[in-house]
Structure formats: structure tokens, C-alpha cells
Structure 1
Amino acid sequence: MKKIGIIGKAGKQEPLDIIRELVPWLKAKGHEALVDAENASQLNMQGTPRAQMPSLVDLIVVLGGDGTMISVARLVADKGIPILGVNIGGLGFLTAVQKDEIYDVMEKVLKDECSIEERIMLNSCVLRHSECITEYIAVNDVVVNKGALARIIDLEIYVNGIYLSTFKADGLIISTPTGSTAYALSAGGPILYPTLNSIIIAPICPHTLTNRPIVLPDDMQVEIYLKSGKEDVYLTIDGQVGFSLRQNDVVVVKKSGHKARIFVPCERDYFQIIRTKLKWGER
């Protein structure tokens, strides 16, 4: 891995401090470092636009929280570039490397001593009058939910063309295993091991209390028909990208042909991350 991309959360000092030291450290070891243009401009360095970086590097180091990590995972999805997350945000399920560990972990990554997890992603398409008018890729989840002042909405769900149910709810989450510790968890969904080939359908605040989350194989296609006509309803991707829906729109969700490739910190397991982040076993 000769070319290392570095993308930091914009508007924070901590990524700048790390970049200032990490770039010369990488160069001293014979690696070329490409810094995202927004952060590079703050350090008077030559920068690389984020959109161009996936075509130029062998690995991307992400300095931020899970939100930054997710946006970069979508950015590099079609290139298969592995990413290493350094947590300078909040919870940090994906950015599992702490600031004080970065150089020890980077040493092992550059020596190919750390494994890479491949995690499924979702592809979503909005059909309007049978035409796909917009398409997105998601790392965590695809969500259909109502606006702030809207009432309960009706969502008719089909799986592989077979009718599942009509949910009267605030919305619906289609989640990957990676997203099972995000919004879906708040909606009562299960935690899935991140490399499982499964998806979760989780209603948000359903009017019928027996409507519970369900886990499906990831080779199944989910179709969400919006039946409500007078409410503000949105499609949201990973909590970062939004699209306004209309009555009779159909959101088609299926497994993406691309996978997120995430470096796993050496000598650390998923259950340790669960215990640490969710404080399991604490009193």
C-alpha cells in the first residue's frame, strides 16, 4: 500500500493535529499521503478532492466519527478501497481505533497484519410511475419516515414480490448488520454480527404492537409502497441523504453489488466493541 488517503471530519481541530503529524510519519516510511482538500487547505498542504481520492489511493484513513466513516464508505464503494477509522467523534462502532493507538495500528496495517471485514451494503431505488428516478447506496440503513408534523403513515411491504404486511407507523427501517447497532437498535431491532448476510426490517413506532422487526436473508428484495397521500414523507440514507417521496412511490431495496471493506483493529474482537460501546456488563 504505497498511496494512503486521509479524510478528516471538517471543521474540527483534532483531525488537523493528527494530519500534521501523520503525513510526515507516512512519508518517512516510504508512503505517499493524500489529504482531502478541505483539511489540507487549513494546513497549507496540497490537497486532493474527496471525489477523486478513491481512484488514487490504496487505503483511506478516516479521522472522525461513525458519520464520517459511513460517508467515506459510500464514496469508495465501487472501488473496493479498504478504510481504517480513527475515532474522534462519539460512539464509534466503525471508527474503532482510538487516537492514541493510531501509529501502532497503522504499523500493523501497513505490514498486512490486520484483517479486513467485508460488510454488505444496500441499494435503494425510488420508482415513480414505474421509472427509477433516484438511486442510492447505504452502509447502515434505508429509512422511510414521516416529517416532523405529519401523522402516522401507511406503508405496504412486499418481499420478493410476496405481500408481507401494511404497517401503520411513523416509518420503516431497512438495515444492514452494520446498521443494526444504529437507528434499527433504537427501534427495537436485534444486533446482528456485522459480517452476516442478512437484513432487518424494523417498523418505527408501529400502531399495532405485534408488528415487530424481522430478519431476512440478504438476497431478498424489499418493496415499500407509500400509500399515504397528505403527509410529508422522506427517504433517508444513513441519516445523511434525504429525498422527498410522493403517494404511490415505491422504494425498492436490495443488497448492493459492492461491499464496505473495513480494517479491523488487530487483537480486538466485535464483542469487546459491543461491551465497550454499549456498556454491557456494567452496573
Structure 2
Amino acid sequence: MKKVGIYAKKNHPDVEKIVFDIRDRLNRDDITVLLEDSVAELIGQVNGFSGDEIPDLVDLVIVLGGDGTLISVARQIGERRVPIVGVNLGRLGFLTEITRDELPGMLDRLVTGEYKISERMMLDSFIYRNGQQIGKYTVLNDIVINKGALARIIDMDASIDGRHLCTYKADGLIIATPTGSTGYSLAAGGPIIFPEINSLLISPICPHMLTNRPVVVWSRSVINIEVKFQDDVVFFTADGQVGRKLLPGDRVEVRRSESRTLLVRSPSKDYFEILRTKLSWGER
């Protein structure tokens, strides 16, 4: 490891000190640290790099913040297979599982190469209008089709590998990776899927038919959703961060991406401990 990039949620009060500490520690082993533009500006450094540029220049990135910050960086890295160290500056995250107190020890392990990586599946999603592709989004967590605040129930035809699944009449639909199963899908009543299982999860949001339940399908499945009817605005969102408006007749295609997110794991936690902590399992 010769070069490390740093991204951060810059409105945290301690980010500046943490960035200096990381840089000082890594520089002692002749590791060059590249800062994303907003981080460089925060600490008064003029030679920052764009978020899209850094993955081509480094061997590993460190993300300071929460799960949302890490998800955004994962999309920027895309297919470049650069490992991500997620450092949570608040409460323990599902993805940013390394705490601030654990960071010094993790930096030592990064220098010596004594760390493990969890490979996470991503999704490619395509939006088609009148037979023409008008958008492509790669996500780590999920894509969501949902109604505007005043819209009525949406009608959506769903198919898997060209075979009709059903017509959902619901407030919306979530298609999630196993990593994303603990996000919006979980709030909508979907199951938790172990993150390294290759599968896709389809979860309706407030379905009109109570028999419409979440469905888990093979990761190689190709899912198509066509918006059939709407009274008002319907939105497509990718990882809850970017997206666009959909029109009647628009088709959303979702399939497993060739890109994978590589997460450096905390040496002191396993996935089930994170679930117990985040979801308060066993507490009264």
C-alpha cells in the first residue's frame, strides 16, 4: 500500500483533527495521503482531488462519517475495486463499523496488511422511456420507486427474467442487495439477508394487497418494473441519494453489477454483533 485517499463528512466537529492524525500516522511509513477536495479545503490544503479522481490514484480509501457517506463513496469507486475503511464518527453503523477509538489500531493493521475484506454485491439499474435508455445508476444498497407526498397507489408490473411476477399496487417498491436489506427494506417489513449471500430482494412499500410479501430471488435474475398508472409524481431513487422522476410507461431494469464494494472489516466485530447493537436485540 503506497497511497491512501480520505473522504469525510465535513460537518463533524472533529474531522480536521482526525484527518491530521491519519495523515501523520501513514506518512511515518511513507504512505502518501490524498484528500478529497472538500476535506482538503477543510484543513486548509490546496492540493485536493475530486471524489471521482481519487479511486484511480490510490490503493485504499478511508471514509470518515456514517453509512450514507460510505455509500456515496462506494458509488464513486464503482468497478475499480478499491477497499474502503469505514470509520463511524457517531453511533456504530452497519457499514462504517470501525469506531474512532479503534482507528489507531486499524491504521497499524493497514500498514502491515493484517486486515480482512468483505465483498459486497452492487446493483446496476437502467431507466427506459419509449424504448430509449435515459439513465443508469449503480448502487450498493437499493433502488426505490415510490410516490410523491400526495400521489395515490402506484400500479407497477414486475417481471423476473422475462416472466411475469405480479402487478404491485402499493406506495412503492424496493429492490435491495443483501447489504441494503438492513436499510429501507427492513423498515418496509423485508427480511435481513447475510451480506455476502448473492441474492436480490424485492420489497413492496405498503402494498394494497396484504398477500404481496417480500421476495428473495437469485442474484443473476434480471428484474423489470414498469410504471403503469399514477395520479401524481413518482420517483426513482438510487441509494436514497440520487434519482429522477418517472412517467407512466417508464421501465426500470435491475440486475447484479459487475462492480463490488470491498469493505475492510473491523477486527473486533462480527455481523451478528452489529445487528444486536443496532437493532437492540435481546434488550428489554
With the shorter chain as reference, the TM-score category is over 0.9
Match in the other structure for 1:76: 77
CA distance in 2, matches of 1:108, 1:21: 15
Report which stretch shifted further, 206-215 or 23-32: 23-32
Q: What is the deviation of 1:131?
A: 1.1
Residues 235 and 244, structure 1, Cα contact 8 Å, conserved in 2:
yes
Match in the other structure for 1:20: 20
Q: 1:91 to 1:228 in 2, by over 3 A?
A: farther
Match in the other structure for 2:174: 173
- Give the SS at the match of 1:72: helix
RMSD value, Cα = 1.1
1:145-176: CA deviations, max 9, x gaps? 00111111101100000000001100000000
Residues 25 and 107, structure 2, Cα contact 8 Å, conserved in 1:
no
Residues 143 and 171, structure 1, Cα contact 8 Å, conserved in 2:
yes
Q: What is the deviation of 1:90?
A: 4.5
Which residue identity does 1:7 align to in structure 2?
Answer: Y
Which residue identity does 1:40 align to in structure 2?
Answer: A
Q: TM-score, normalised by structure 1?
A: 0.97
Match in the other structure for 1:277: 278
- Equivalent runs, 1:1-283 vs 2, <5 Å: 1-45=1-45, 46-90=47-91, 92-283=93-284
CA distance in 2, matches of 1:91, 1:70: 15
Residues 116 and 261, structure 1, Cα contact 8 Å, conserved in 2:
yes
CA distance in 2, matches of 1:266, 1:110: 15
Which residue identity does 2:266 align to in structure 1?
Answer: P
Q: TM-score, normalised by structure 2?
A: 0.97
Q: What is the deviation of 1:230?
A: 2.8
Q: What is the deviation of 1:109?
A: 2.4
Q: What is the deviation of 1:13?
A: 2.1
1:74-133: CA deviations, max 9, x gaps? 111121101000001445110000011101012112222111111110000001111111
Which residue identity does 2:15 align to in structure 1?
Answer: P
**What 5-or-longer segments of structure 2 have no aligned partner?**
none
Which residue identity does 1:100 align to in structure 2?
Answer: D
CA distance in 2, matches of 1:89, 1:247: 41
Report which stretch shifted further, 49-58 or 197-206: 49-58
Residues 113 and 266, structure 1, Cα contact 8 Å, conserved in 2:
no
Aligned residues: 283
Which residue identity does 2:2 align to in structure 1?
Answer: K
Residues 66 and 89, structure 1, Cα contact 8 Å, conserved in 2:
no
CA distance in 2, matches of 1:110, 1:28: 10
- Give the SS at the match of 2:191: coil
Which residue identity does 2:70 align to in structure 1?
Answer: M
Report percent identity of matched pairs: 45
CA distance in 2, matches of 1:197, 1:251: 21
